[in-house]
Amino acid sequence: MSRSVRTRPEGSGQALSEAYDTALLDLDGVVYAGGNAIEHAVPSLAVARDGGMRLAYVTNNALRTPDAVAAHLTELGIPAEAGDVITSAQAVARLIADQVPQGSRVLVVGGEGLRVALRERGLEPVESADDEPVAVVQGYGGPELAWGRFAEASYAVARGLPWFASNTDLTIPSGRGIAPGNGAAVEVVRIATGAEPQVAGKPLPPMHRETILRTGAERPLVVGDRLDTDIEGAFNGGVDSLLVLTGVTDGAQLLAAPPRHRPTYVDADLRGLLTGQPEVVGDGGAFRCGGWTAAAGAGRLELDGDGAPVDGLRALCAAAWTAAGDEGCGLDAGKALARLGL
């Protein structure tokens, strides 16, 4: 992927499942939400897999083990094995193991996924700051994580122990809406200690490294719903990305995205893996895609035409990103997005 400033979503004459050998799929907001499969996800992934594309599930959620995630996917109708799942718990465990001696004790604030990943790297999870840990690791622990766990982390970090975080996503999608994520919990310890953790998860290099080591992907496509983790992670790793609109990112956020948050492709859902991507064509300062034409006017984005809403959004992206250059677009897009129902 070019590091030049992206000014429009790219087109593809091939189905993306044919153009790339491996889909690096985020889970929450892409494959499922609140434990239930997102519409079109199961049949789309089946067709992509049957056509020869490898499916790898890459999640910043460190709560569950790869075995548990694979079992859940299989229950949803998406056959998966533990080796198909890469978690931020695995990435942060490798990061810690590179810095502390084998067999070291690590204070865990989070769920079973972190404990399993630490043991895989020859480290011993402990529960208290008084258990003589040499490091602290924090990951998403679910809604039942006790407040006292943050106190244990704060005590240990305040003593000068190195602090690691699986990820810093401030929010996480659920079946009932958007809930606080691990990043919100990390802020609690940061406020108490004034310290800064080393972070492993998307969009940072340790997660990309872990993913490539475990999948061996040669032509990967990152598929995600978040600009600040999935899409930025693809940008940092120099690989292409597909944003799907089934999770936390809405049209206004996409149009305002700075260069590192601009995906290669945009589609409504995972059916986008199975098709080519339409080209966005520049036409005298305006941009056409499908039946839509978009342009940047006096302080706002204009949209004319009709057709598939996602085509209109692609055209708007071209107009917004071209006008913004290497900054975020500040043009009013409210009326244009309302026409698209976005």
Alpha carbons 312 and 288: distance in angstroms, whole number: 8
Catalytic residues: 26, 28
**Of 125, 197, 186, which Cα lies nearest the Cα of 161?**
197
Bridge-partner residues for 163, per DSSP? 136
Alpha carbons 314 and 336: distance in angstroms, whole number: 12
Helix (H, G, I), strand (E, B) or coil at 89: helix
**Are the C-beta atoms of 3 and 323 separated by less than 8 Å?**
no
**Are the C-beta atoms of 25 and 58 separated by less than 8 Å?**
yes
Alpha carbons 310 and 307: distance in angstroms, whole number: 9
**Are the C-beta atoms of 198 and 192 separated by less than 8 Å?**
no
Sign of CA dihedral 216, 221, 224, 229: positive
**Of 199, 223, 183, which Cα lies nearest the Cα of 59?**
223
The amino acid that residue 216 corresponds to is G
Kindly give the pairing relationship between strand 171-174 and strand 177-180: antiparallel
**Of 65, 82, 76, which Cα lies nearest the Cα of 30?**
76
Kindly give the pairing relationship between strand 36-37 and strand 32-33: antiparallel
